[in-house]
Structure 1
Amino acid sequence: MHAMQYEVTLPADYDMEIIRRRVATKGHLLDDFPGLGLKAYLMRERAGGSPVNQYAPFYLWAAPEGMNSFLWGPGFQGIVHDFGRPVVQHWTGLAYEEGPAAGAVPRAATRRRVRIPEKERPALAVEQALAAHRQLACADGVVAAAVAVDPRHWELLHFALWAEDAPEAIGDVFQVLHLSAPQRAELARGRQW
């Protein structure tokens, strides 16, 4: 499993209805995309208490070929054409779980990025992240949760989809505008090694 996200930060006075319409008209295009475990079309806006207006889709790829096909194919080129080329962040998957609300349509998402301190052993940090992930995945209202790592920057990523409003204490909170999940059932459960 690979996790991927890019963020398009928009001006403070940007009409976020443009993003809502974009997702409403184009979101379904990845509903059957090969190799895609899930794509959460995420947005946060200043009017809702966010520090920024942002469109920030999040992906869990069941197969790297799917990720490559998306990045170098027409899907991502539409983002590049409309908003410029964003930095594509990606992480190696450590674990994935379906939550107690797995059958619900997610309304919100949380993302928390944590740097692994230089003096901390990476294996210990990963074990602690896995323990936190297992706890998060069992929380009421969780649809699905993943934890991943970027070993280039030594950063851990905790991500969860929620059937209801997400707790702000967990990290950055996003609205889920649409969920494409053609191969969600193929995302390996539990620890990825």
Structure 2
Amino acid sequence: MHAMQYEIRFPADYDMGIIRERVATRHRFTDTFAGLGVKAYLMREKGVAGSPVNAYAPLYLWRTQEGMHTFLWGPAFQGLAADFGRPTVQHWAGTAYEEGTAASSAARTAVRRRTAIEEGTELPELMAQSVHEVGQLATSDGALFAASAVDPRTWELLTFSVWDHESPKAPGDIYHVLHLSQPERELLPRGRHW
């Protein structure tokens, strides 16, 4: 599994209805995209759920590198870049994934936490803790799924979870889920990824 996210920030007075409309009319493209486990179309609005910004920030869990590359080098991403400018794409190597207690529910909220991995951190211990946390998140009421991943270039741990309600008890930045494409979610490997 490979996690990927880009974030496009907008001015405080930007009409976020434009993003809602964009997702509503274009999400079908990723509903059947080969190699894609999940794409969570995420949005934050300034002043809502503690957000200091307006942002569109979809997060992907790729089942295959080929699928991720086909997306990045293909027309969909080029269209996004043409409309908003080419964003920086963050990428993490998957470390764990678990289906949640509400796996078949509709997605409403997502929580993303990015944690710097300090120099001297015992990586085997941190990864074991991360796998355990993903399991704990997945067994929480209302969780659709949870995942973790690491960027070894910047040494950052990503923890991500999707929920069927608006008040998840998980630390991190809260996003509204506009749509959840999940063409190969059932094929994402469960448990730890090494």
User: Which category describes the TM-score, using the shorter chain as reference length?
Assistant: over 0.9
Question: Secondary structure, in 3 states, of the residue corresponding to 2:167?
Answer: coil
TM (normalized to structure 1)?
A: 0.97
Q: Match of 1:70?
A: 71
CA change 1:168–1:59 in 2 (3 A) is same
Q: Does 1:99 align with 2:100?
A: yes
Q: How many residues align?
A: 193
User: Whole-Å Cα distance in 1 between the matches of residues 174 and 11 of structure 2?
Assistant: 19
CA contact (8 A) 1:3 1:58 kept: yes
Residues 131 and 191 of structure 2 are in contact (CA less than 8 Å); yes or no, is this contact kept in structure 1?
A: no
In the TM superposition, residue 166 of structure 1 has moved relative to its aligned partner by 3.5
Matching residue of 1:21 = 21
Is 1:38 aligned to residue 38 of structure 2?
yes
Q: Hey, what's the Cα distance between the residues in 1 that align with 2:19 and 2:60?
A: 18
1:79-108 deviation line (CA, Å, top 9, x unaligned): 100110111001000111110000101100
Counterpart CA distance in 1 for 2:29 and 2:76 is 9
In 2, Cα distance between equivalents of 1:104 and 1:178 = 12
Q: 1:45 to 1:180 in 2, by over 3 A?
A: same
In the alignment, the residues of structure 1 paired with residue 41 and residue 16 of structure 2 have an alpha-carbon distance, to the nearest angstrom, of 13
Q: Cα RMSD over matched residues? A: 1.0
Q: Percent identity?
A: 59
Q: Secondary structure at the match of 2:27?
A: helix
SS of the residue 2:21 aligns to = helix
| 8 A contact 1:149–1:155 mirrored in 2 | yes
Structure 1: unaligned runs, 5 residues or longer: none
Distance in 1 (alpha carbons) for counterparts of 2:64 and 2:88: 21
Q: Which 5+ residue runs of structure 2 have no aligned equivalent?
A: none
Deviation sequence 1:128-177 (CA, Å, 0-9, x none): 11121111111111001101111111111000000111336510000000
- Mapped partners of 1:168, 1:153: distance in 2: 27
Residue 5 in structure 1 maps to residue 5 in structure 2: yes
Runs (4+) of structure 1 exceeding 2 A deviation are: 166-169
Q: What letter corresponds to residue 38 of structure 1 in structure 2?
A: V
Alpha-carbon distance in structure 1 between the residues aligned to 2:27 and 2:47: 23
Contact 2:111 2:170 survives alignment (8 Å): no
Aligned to 1:84: 85
